[in-house]
């Protein structure tokens, strides 16, 4: 299976959100990546339920919702009700991660766990069979347009080794600083979902940039 590309709506033009959603619909992108920030877990606030509900009306592709919020377990059904198909919570924000993951799956969504750059992959050893996706943060969460952290390659390889034979279908998603220059190396290391915000939306031709990120690696 070829890798998935998920443009991050955080970098879209909110004055023309419907237009940007149609661009994603009509492109080779696979998912919408939707960043929710609460100003507590991360030093920024993005958007919440009304915007996601609107996006879901426009979107013809799954919403991959990344919660950068404390106590994410409080809002699981509300995110399902506004259209989340994949719901990802941060390891660092989840005291009872196993319970939260089960609740996400019971609500009918795929469950993801995100790791900050300093959080080792080995901490997932006792939950890797229970989850559908891991987001490896390749920048410190909170903002688009930051520089990719090179240590991420080591984490991709560690996670690829961990999932092998235990959860071969696990998605390994990379979030932050993904570019047309590094996407091939990320896929080669074992990533199969690439989030891209500024690389897509700050480019001359976002549709072509998405095609570029979708190109199979040689």
The reply on whether position 62 binds ligand DX5 by CB under 6 A is no
Answer left, alpha or beta for residue 39, where phi above 0 means left and psi between -120 and 50 means alpha.
Answer: left
81 is catalytic: no
Near ligand DX5 by CB under 6 A: residue from 33, 90, 155, 163: 33
125 is catalytic: no
Near ligand DX5 by CB under 6 A: residue from 28, 145, 158, 215: 145
- As measured in angstroms, the least distance from the Cβ of 129 to ligand DX5 is 25
Q: Between residues 161 and 180, which has the closer beta carbon with respect to ligand DX5?
A: 180
Interface with ligand DX5: number of residues (CB under 6 A): 22
Gap between the Cα atoms of 41 and 180, Å rounded: 29
65 to 94: interface string for ligand DX5, x by CB under 6 A: -x----------------------------
- As measured in angstroms, the least distance from the Cβ of 10 to Zn ion is 7
8 A C-beta contact, residue 178 and residue 196: yes
Gap between the Cα atoms of 142 and 196, Å rounded: 14
CA distances from 167 to 5, 61, 66, 82, 184 (A): 21, 24, 21, 29, 23
| Mode of pairing for the β-strands spanning 32-37 and 110-115 | unpaired
Q: Which does 23 bind (CB under 5 to 8 A by kind): ligand DX5, Zn ion, none?
A: none
Gap between the Cα atoms of 176 and 149, Å rounded: 8
The reply on whether position 100 binds ligand DX5 by CB under 6 A is no
Q: Which of 38, 64, 132, 175 is catalytic?
A: 175
Please give the positions annotated as active site.
35, 175
């Amino acid at each position: 299976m070829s890798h998935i590309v998920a443009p991050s709506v955080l970098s879209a033009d909110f004055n023309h959100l419907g237009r940007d959603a149609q661009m994603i619909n009509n492109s080779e992108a696979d998912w919408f990546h939707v960043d929710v920030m609460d100003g507590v877990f991360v030093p920024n606030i993005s958007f919440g339920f009304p915007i996601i509900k609107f996006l879901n009306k426009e979107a013809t592709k799954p919403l991959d919702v990344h919660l950068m919020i404390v106590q994410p377990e409080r809002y699981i059904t509300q995110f399902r009700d506004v259209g989340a198909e994949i719901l990802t919570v941060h390891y660092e924000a989840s005291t009872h991660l196993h319970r939260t993951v089960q609740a996400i799956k019971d609500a009918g969504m795929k469950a993801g766990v995100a790791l900050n750059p300093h959080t080792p992959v080995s901490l997932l050893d006792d939950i890797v069979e229970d989850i559908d996706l891991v987001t490896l943060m390749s920048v410190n969460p909170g903002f688009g347009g930051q520089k990719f952290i090179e240590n991420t390659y080591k984490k991709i390889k560690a996670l690829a080794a961990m999932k092998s034979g235990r959860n071969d279908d696990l998605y390994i998603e990379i979030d932050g600083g993904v570019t047309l220059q590094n996407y091939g190396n990320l896929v080669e290391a074992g990533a199969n979902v690439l989030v891209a915000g500024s690389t897509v939306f700050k480019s001359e031709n976002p549709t072509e940039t998405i095609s570029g990120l979708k190109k199979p690696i040689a």
